[in-house]
Structure 1
């Protein structure tokens, strides 16, 4: 008999993690560790192939549908989305795991939302959205023909961010920041990209007079012309002496990519020293607002619609109107 797990109790048998990689481990001696993937969703899919496992779909439990969802749908999502969905699905399974999919009714969703909302209203909304998608997949896969129980169940009202970063606040934080944070702030402002997209920029992305970006969230592709202040910032970054020259534009002292947690820690330290309260992600909104041109902002941010960009800007600056006379 194998040893009892000390962690990851929900993992299936012969599915083990070592470091950041998941393995399939043979049940016979000597045990053979076969590498699956560093992505858990993909690793589960490969594990199921090796094991020849097929869930007992006759039970039609929510947990059965959820496991199939993890195997088949998770791999199609972005890494950050999968990470969030993992946590959301864990909370849903605590309540719905052993319920037949046909037995889940709108009143159960309402009850879940009310209880979960006492602690985290926004997370409750996200978990309801994930449940709804899982249920729709259950309908596609033939587990149920009933209407989605989330239909008609209202989520909690969310208040979007409306923080506008002034030039003075931006400069104050930069004055107290580590050079890697200064580089990241300048690139985020001049390109209008999200923090994760700024951190993944590589030197190889500079070509044909442009900085080429593929956004993580939407997969939108942009070629941002390297002119004006952006050209000066990139030249400053490339010319800065480094002990080790890595692949990334913004890199740590060892030449590796600056990690998200390192950026956040260094930014928070500078923000505290400067006595300023904005978040790094607010820089993207500042970029959109400061262009003064809605079409330019839409292109720079990679928004699909003009309305999305207009809402994004109005939330921070309000509508510009003429006086009566």
Structure 2
């Protein structure tokens, strides 16, 4: 039988405190093994419960950091890589304010104050949305019975981006682009895909006369018919391969850098910014090409074509891309007004 505790009597069995940190202590082969549990008592209790194989643990005054830690462990891995990156950044901001606050103590007034004092309004809205998501999960996990403090708290008003890139503007940037960027720009326009989806396209995605795409963000599966201008681009990308550095190994990616490797996110951004400045086209973002593709497609194709091309689940999502930038091309009122009768001389 081990010695009776002389301090920290409230801690469970096998859990000890040294300084500001907590440890799980076990004995193996006559030696003690100290496993760090962190310096937050609530988080430490969660880790202790896992090591003791206890499914449910009674945690008093669970802090936001506890729920955030479990959210990061259990929920975030199921999200796309970009979403995980954004959530990680947002959780860092939220933990800096709410981390040590018990969940039951977070009120709508605190959420309102966070929104008002956060400098970036759009970022504040996204962080509020994540706070609400984490809180809902915390309720499901039994960490709190309190109502979601974000309910009824209005975020900052946002104005959607409505920049439409004219043909001449896009062509001017393409003329100032290097070969890899030119390939990426044209693929993005004719497929209507996001930059991340364009960068990952490979020659093996060309199957049965179509370009098979699995979107990173939505996981939507698309098959873009290789015809018209897209056919010319695919022929160029597969037959007129750009030169690469001596000793470099060429990959199967359609858009390759000078080493035969796919463009990274930062490298694509750098090349695009450089070409845009050379072209003298202000307020032009790479993502605007996707919106231009949707708008141009809607102008000449049957209703719903743009929605399918972009992989949107709802018509309203596509409308955000189209009507706010250029407006729909519509026919005039078909009814003919009756003409006034001519008076006799």
The two structures share one fold, judged by TM-score above 0.5: yes
- Could you tell me which residue of structure 2 aligns to residue 37 of structure 1? none
Of residues 288, 291, 310 in structure 1, which corresponds to 2:294? 288
Which structure has the greater CA radius of gyration?
2
- Map residues 164-243 of structure 1 onto 2, 5 A cutoff: 164-239=164-239, 240-243=241-244
2:113 is the counterpart of 1:111 = yes
Distance in 1, matches of 2:136 and 2:229, equals 48
Distance in 1, matches of 2:96 and 2:242, equals 52
**For structure 2, which runs of at least 5 residues remain unmatched after alignment?**
1-21, 24-30, 32-46, 337-345
Distance in 1, matches of 2:304 and 2:332, equals 25
Q: TM-score, normalised by structure 2?
A: 0.76
Q: Secondary structure in 2 aligned to 1:316?
A: coil
Of residues 311, 315, 330 in structure 2, which corresponds to 1:306? 315
**Contact 2:61 2:103 (8 Å CA) reproduced:** no
Of residues 228, 252, 255 in structure 1, which corresponds to 2:257? 252
**Contact 2:197 2:216 (8 Å CA) reproduced:** yes
Q: What's the C-alpha RMSD, in Å, of the aligned pairs?
A: 2.1
Task: Report the CA distance between 1:321 and its aligned residue.
Answer: 4.7
- Map residues 70-149 of structure 1 onto 2, 5 A cutoff: 70-116=72-118, 119-149=119-149
Distance in 2, matches of 1:66 and 1:307, equals 32
Task: Report the CA distance between 1:307 and its aligned residue.
Answer: 2.2
Q: Secondary structure in 1 aligned to 2:212?
A: strand
What do residues 285-305 of structure 1 show as CA deviations (whole Å, max 9, x unaligned)? 111011123311011000111
Runs of 4+ displaced beyond 4 Å: 53-56, 321-325
Q: TM-score, normalised by structure 1?
A: 0.81
2:274 is the counterpart of 1:273 = no
**For structure 1, which runs of at least 5 residues remain unmatched after alignment?**
1-11, 14-27, 29-47
Task: Report the CA distance between 1:98 and its aligned residue.
Answer: 1.0
Name which of structure 1's ranges 52-61 and 150-159 shifts more when overlaid on structure 2.
52-61
**Contact 2:214 2:221 (8 Å CA) reproduced:** yes
Q: Higher helix share goes to which structure?
A: 1
**Contact 1:57 1:64 (8 Å CA) reproduced:** no
